[in-house]
Structure 1
Amino acid sequence: MERIVRLIPYKLIAKLEAVTEVPKGVEMIQAPKIWGKTKGLGTTIAILDTGCDLAHPDLKDRIIGGRNFTNDDKGNLEVFRDYNGHGTHVAGTIAATQNQKGVVGVAPEANLLIVKVLDKNGSGQYDWIINGIHYAIEQKVDIISMSLGGPEDVPELHEAIQKAVDNNILVVCAAGNEGDGQDTTNEFDYPGSYNEVISVGAVSLDRRISDFSNSNNEVDLVAPGETILSTYLNGKYAKLSGTSMATPHVSGALALVKILSNRAFERELTVPELYAQLVKRTVPLGFSPKLEGNGMVFLTAIDYLTDVFNHDLKLNFIKNHK
């Protein structure tokens, strides 16, 4: 029997001809406040998805290449065009160029490697995903972003992810959209439930856990995933909802975190070290860890804590030296 993996289900809210704004989700995780330090230049993120609108004005300067592992376009490896829209939307949230029009992504100067592993219908064989991961490893990317999944725990898929992590590649995956809003039940999707990946749940733009977001003890953190504005097919834009939309916020955030952390430590940090740096940049929302993991990604959290610490030190100094 052929094993199939599909897009994490998502909801199309609206299509838009033209926009000019920083999407609310990008602002919500504080990305613009980091851009004075880095916009992701020098990092490469592999997007394993339905391909990409390669001519989109907000994306064309970010794409450095790619490969098609599906049967679309008669299986031509060199044609990784998106006929679905999902992959293009994910790409925009990660790294849409800051060009004073359209939208801007979390890491607007990061490079994108488009790895098409899902066809125009949003489905694909596990072998396509596995081959896509190996291709990303060969291309020495920094981050792999996957807003896809299925109920089946496939050992070969797990092994491919472990190999990526062994090669110091961060792997970010959607937690899944089979949730019921309760932390008393567990919903598992793969590869999102593998311990080696960073599993991302979704919150609304008012920081409430999305009812559809999977709950389990492998959820690492949450990000905006409802009514997310990003790039879409034919140079247009759309608002979509799903943990698929939360995942690229974290993938883009990691591009920024990696640069900041390597710069601060003056060396290349390992995957566990970078994960720790990401967790330092989260804020708890008050929900169960099975729903929110370590909390919502909030890139200035570490700066805020430093400011509070320094403020307290200053107050104590003044108090003790009156």
Structure 2
Amino acid sequence: MKKSVRLFPHQVEEVVMAISEVPEGLELIQTPYFWEKSKGKGMVVAILDTGCDLEHPDLKDRIIGGRNFTDDDSGRADLFKDYNGHGTHVAGTVAATENGTGVVGVAPEASLLIVKVLDKNGSGTYDSVIQGIQYAVEQRADIISMSLGGPEDMPELHQAIKEAVDQGILVVCAAGNGGDGDPETEELDYPGCYNEVISVGAVDFDRRSSRFSNSNNELDLVAPGEKIRSTYLNGKYATLSGTSMATPHVSGALALLKQYANESFGRQLTEAELYAQLIKRTIPLGYSPRLIGNGLLYLSVDRYLEQLATEKIDGLYVKAE
């Protein structure tokens, strides 16, 4: 099975040495509001990507282990360092620690399992992704986050995802960056368009659907995916765009929701129940579901609904029914 899987095309817009901020994407989805209830403590998010900057000050305390399934570093399984930057950026959006400097992730107390399935060039094989999924299952990850894809529907990959979901693991995937802004056209990348995964498209900070975001009937929701600032190589920070950047917002949000739901319900919720908890925390944006699925991830949807009945929201006046 030598057919390849890859990073979706993405744009590196800026690299800086030092910053100190709560990224704008976290503000858009109302993450700080939800930190009153949960910060993802005890949750393990497996990042299947290009590895990670293991010494980054915002990430080193969150990483609990990992494995390399690529040919980088002569294929040594215990070396899962990032030479590309993409995986480090994704990891920071999920769980950069809250240390008063740099950036903070959606779930700053979650743990990261770094599963390197893409090499320094951002490419890999379906075999490596399948092995990475199986490893994440063996390590009892709560969430698998994949900002990658390919054009081929591979039954073996689909089966590995089904087995992960059967174990109660939430599998989150980027929808892909082959879109043209037209909901009537269909762009499919795998594994993002498998029904079993949570497929994530992108919007900008003005809640406009990103033109590059794939459209299809399998899209579940959207999250910020343009000009996203997060951790990068050599302890730096970078601004990137793509559905790859939207996906970790959802993966981190699921870490928050799973911790909160388990504590609130007094039991482990099923994958289907947690999916329902996620989707109930979305808001409509006025676009076709083929572009945005159920809507924009919005962790304070209860406050949104209260406002909806009485006042304007972000400049949009609505009529109370």
TM-score range, shorter chain: over 0.9
TM-score computed with the length of structure 2 as normaliser: 0.95
CA displacement at 1:35 relative to structure 2: 1.1
Contact 1:18 1:237 in 2 (8 A): yes
Matches for 1:233-272 after TM superposition, within 5 Å:
233-272=233-272
Which sections of structure 1, spanning at least 5 residues, go unmatched?
310-322
Contact 1:53 1:233 in 2 (8 A): yes
- Superposition RMSD in Å: 1.5
Give 2:209's aligned residue. Answer: 209
SS at match of 1:64: strand
Look up the equivalent residue of 2:171 and give its one-letter code. V
* 1:54 and 2:46 correspond: no
Question: What do the CA deviations read for 1:15-43 (whole angstroms, capped 9, x no partner)?
Answer: 11110000000111111111122110000
Contact 2:38 2:257 in 1 (8 A): no
Give 2:39's aligned residue. Answer: 39
Give 1:313's aligned residue. Answer: none
Percent sequence identity over aligned pairs: 70
CA displacement at 1:8 relative to structure 2: 1.3
Which sections of structure 2, spanning at least 5 residues, go unmatched?
310-321
Aligned length: 311
After TM superposition, the runs of 4+ consecutive aligned structure 1 residues lying more than 6 A away are 306-309
CA displacement at 1:302 relative to structure 2: 3.2
Give 1:222's aligned residue. Answer: 222
Give 1:63's aligned residue. Answer: 63
SS at match of 1:54: coil
Question: What do the CA deviations read for 1:233-259 (whole angstroms, capped 9, x no partner)?
Answer: 000000000000000000000001111
CA distance in 2, matches of 1:293, 1:60: 34
Look up the equivalent residue of 1:31 and give its one-letter code. T
Look up the equivalent residue of 2:216 and give its one-letter code. N
SS at match of 2:9: coil
SS at match of 1:200: strand
Contact 1:280 1:302 in 2 (8 A): no
Matches for 1:141-290 after TM superposition, within 5 Å:
141-290=141-290
SS at match of 1:149: coil
CA distance in 2, matches of 1:80, 1:3: 22
Look up the equivalent residue of 1:152 and give its one-letter code. E
Give 1:319's aligned residue. Answer: none
Give 1:135's aligned residue. Answer: 135
Using the TM superposition, name which of 215-224 and 262-271 deviates more.
262-271
Contact 1:282 1:296 in 2 (8 A): yes
Question: What do the CA deviations read for 1:162-194 (whole angstroms, capped 9, x no partner)?
Answer: 000000000000000000000010000000000
CA displacement at 1:9 relative to structure 2: 1.2
TM-score computed with the length of structure 1 as normaliser: 0.94
SS at match of 1:219: coil
Contact 2:46 2:144 in 1 (8 A): yes
